[in-house]
Amino acid sequence: ALYVEGNGTYVTVTDSLFEDGTAADGGAAAVADGGHLYLFRTNFTNNEATNAGAISADDYAVLMADGIRCEGNKADNRGGAFGIKQIEHQHANPMTMYKEIKDSFFH
C-alpha cells in the first residue's frame, strides 16, 4: 500500500487504516534507503508479508510511530507487526538509522 524510499522523501500518515494488505516486505508499508515515515494514530489490521507483516523498515530509514495499533498482522520472517533491519554497509554511520515507537498497541 505504501512504499517510502530515498533521502528527502518524507511521508506522514495520521488517523488512517491499513487493512488486508499483502507484500513481500511490509504488508501495509515499507520505508527504506533514507526515507522518513511518520505514523500517528494509525491502525494496521490483518496485513501479511513474507518479511514484516505490517511495516518494514530497512537501509537507513527513519520510522517514528506514535499511538498506532497493530492487530492480526502476519509474516513468515522479521515480525508480524514490524520488521526493522539494518543492512551492513562498508561506510555505515550508526546515527543515520532512527526508529522510535511509543504509546502503541500490538496484538
In tens, the pLDDT along 2-48 reads 999 998 899 999 999 999 999 999 999 999 988 999 999 999 999 99
Confidence of residue 59 (pLDDT cuts 50, 70, 90): confident
Amino acid at residue number 61: A
Residue 90 has pLDDT above 50, yes or no: no
DSSP code per residue over 9-25? -EEEEES-EEES-EEEE
Q: How confident is the model at residue 60 (pLDDT cuts 50, 70, 90)?
A: confident
Q: Answer yes or no: are the C-beta atoms of 62 and 88 closer than 8 Å.
A: no
pLDDT of 97 above 90: no
- Per DSSP, the three-state class of 102 is strand
Which is more confidently placed, 96 or 82? 82
- In this structure, the dihedral spanned by the alpha carbons of residues 1, 86, 38 and 10, taken in order and rounded to 10 degrees, is -80
- The answer to whether the CB of 27 falls within 8 A of the CB of 53 is yes
User: Model's pTM, two decimal places?
Assistant: 0.81
Instruction: Return the domain boundaries, the chain.
Output: 2-106
Question: Grid cell 492480526 — which residue?
Answer: 72
